[in-house]
């Protein structure tokens, strides 16, 4: 039995699809396989998780994604989960398809959606990420320890002002790239929650403002006025000030990640690396 047949059999066992449904391959992600399929109560999205355990920045956490969707879909932040299935092909997340525009979100709306997410007080059972200057430096060093090359500019920031850890962690997505934002008829939604956490809201601001991630998962780096508009629209300006203090390290962390990806065969991350290094110098 091939992979698709294994998935189809598992979904039919749960009475989610009729026999011989139409499958459509969806593109955009780089770790997991994703399809759209006609379900018995509307179109479904099926995500078959790949091996993300070795990823130094974006781990693949099926259980965490499913629990996060269960908590957030009622709040109009995430799609509605249907099932998390352990199939012969691997772990499979099924959720209801959201109709809308992908990758064209208004930065101001993104700012307000993220602020709403960060203000939630929910116990979901997610991993907890360290925050602040020392934690970011340690994370960059850890990523670089997995690389053969060094990262220009990293060691020159060792005397940068210290930003302490955040006292109260927020629920964060950690991968707020354009292709993970869907503008539905009733508002903006975030998808692809495979690496959520409790941590610093600055993490989400940094991922959305990353020029590398906009190049890889959008239509090129965000214009400066749109980026400033996003920061101006985020309601908690103390978090914005914190992000601005930490932004050189966030840019260097993405640059280190891009270097790791390049050294592991993803050559389209090479121009993204240069974009992020330039942003770190300008921050």
pLDDT at 13 over 70: yes
Q: What is the C-alpha to C-alpha distance for residues 15 and 17, in angstroms, rounded to an integer? A: 6
Tens digits of residue pLDDT in 54-108: 899 999 999 999 999 999 999 999 999 999 999 999 999 999 999 999 989 999 9
CA distances from 215 to 18, 103, 111, 193, 223 (A): 39, 12, 20, 20, 12
Q: Give the residue from 80, 97, 114 where a domain finishes.
A: 97
Tens digits of residue pLDDT in 137-196: 999 999 999 999 998 877 766 556 799 999 999 999 999 999 999 999 889 999 999 999
Please give the share of the chain, as a percent, with pLDDT higher than 90.
81
User: What pLDDT score was predicted for residue 5?
Assistant: 86
The pTM for the full model equals 0.94
Q: What is the C-alpha to C-alpha distance for residues 48 and 50, in angstroms, rounded to an integer? A: 7
- Three-state DSSP class for 171? strand
Check whether residue 48 and residue 82 sit in a common domain. yes
Check whether residue 72 and residue 120 sit in a common domain. no
Check whether residue 7 and residue 113 sit in a common domain. no
Our count of domains for the chain comes to 2
User: What pLDDT score was predicted for residue 243?
Assistant: 97
Q: Give the residue from 97, 122, 144 where a domain finishes.
A: 97
């Amino acid at each position: 039995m091939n992979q698709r047949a294994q998935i189809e059999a598992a979904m039919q066992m749960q009475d989610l699809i009729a026999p011989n449904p139409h499958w459509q391959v969806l593109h955009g992600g780089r770790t997991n396989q994703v399809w759209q399929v006609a379900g018995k109560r509307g179109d479904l999205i099926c995500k078959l998780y790949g091996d993300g355990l070795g990823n130094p920045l974006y781990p693949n956490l099926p259980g965490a994604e499913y629990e996060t969707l269960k908590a957030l879909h009622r709040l109009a932040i995430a799609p509605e989960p249907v099932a998390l299935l352990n199939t012969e092909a691997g772990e499979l997340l099924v959720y209801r398809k959201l109709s809308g525009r992908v990758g064209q979100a208004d930065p101001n709306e993104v700012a307000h959606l993220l602020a709403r997410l960060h203000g939630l007080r929910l116990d979901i059972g997610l991993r907890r990420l360290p925050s602040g200057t020392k934690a970011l430096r340690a994370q960059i060093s850890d990523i670089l320890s997995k690389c053969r090359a060094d990262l220009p500019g990293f060691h020159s920031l060792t005397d940068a002002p210290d930003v302490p850890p955040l006292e109260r962690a927020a629920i964060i997505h950690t991968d707020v790239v354009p292709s993970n934002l869907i503008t539905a008829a009733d508002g903006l939604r975030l998808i692809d929650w495979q690496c959520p956490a409790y941590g610093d809201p600055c993490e989400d601001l940094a991922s959305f403002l990353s020029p590398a991630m906009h190049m890889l998962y959008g239509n090129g780096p965000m214009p400066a006025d749109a980026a400033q508009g996003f920061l101006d629209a985020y309601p908690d300006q103390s978090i914005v000030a914190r992000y601005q203090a930490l932004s050189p390290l966030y840019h260097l962390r993405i640059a280190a990640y891009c270097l790791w990806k390049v050294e592991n065969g993803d050559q389209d991350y090479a121009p993204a690396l240069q974009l992020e290094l330039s942003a770190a110098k300008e921050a």
